[in-house]
Amino acid sequence: MAPQVYELSFRGAASDTLAAGFEGCEVMTSDDVTTVRALVPDQAALQGMISQVHGFGLELLEVRIVASR
């Protein structure tokens, strides 16, 4: 898999502390939904990000590819 830009969205507004947990990612909040955008090098890294969302106890709403590199 070539690196791709993904967005993961979860319910709730991320605090500064939570956003810092997604180091190297762009974190945006709108209408009580937080979106984390990142260049993901492979499937293992994507699974790691999804696990991180679940590990924080957040409700994952959507995972989508934004752009391929």
Topology of domain 4-68, CATH: Alpha-Beta Plaits (3.30.70)
List, for residues 5-25, the tens digit of each pLDDT value: 999 999 999 999 999 999 999
List, for residues 10-69, the tens digit of each pLDDT value: 999 999 999 999 999 999 999 999 999 999 999 999 999 999 999 999 999 999 999 876
* Phi, psi torsion values for 36, nearest 5 degrees: -110, 125
Predicted TM-score (pTM) of this structure: 0.88
| CA–centroid distance for 68 within its chain | 16
Q: Of 51, 5, 4, whose CA–CA distance to 26 is shortest?
A: 5
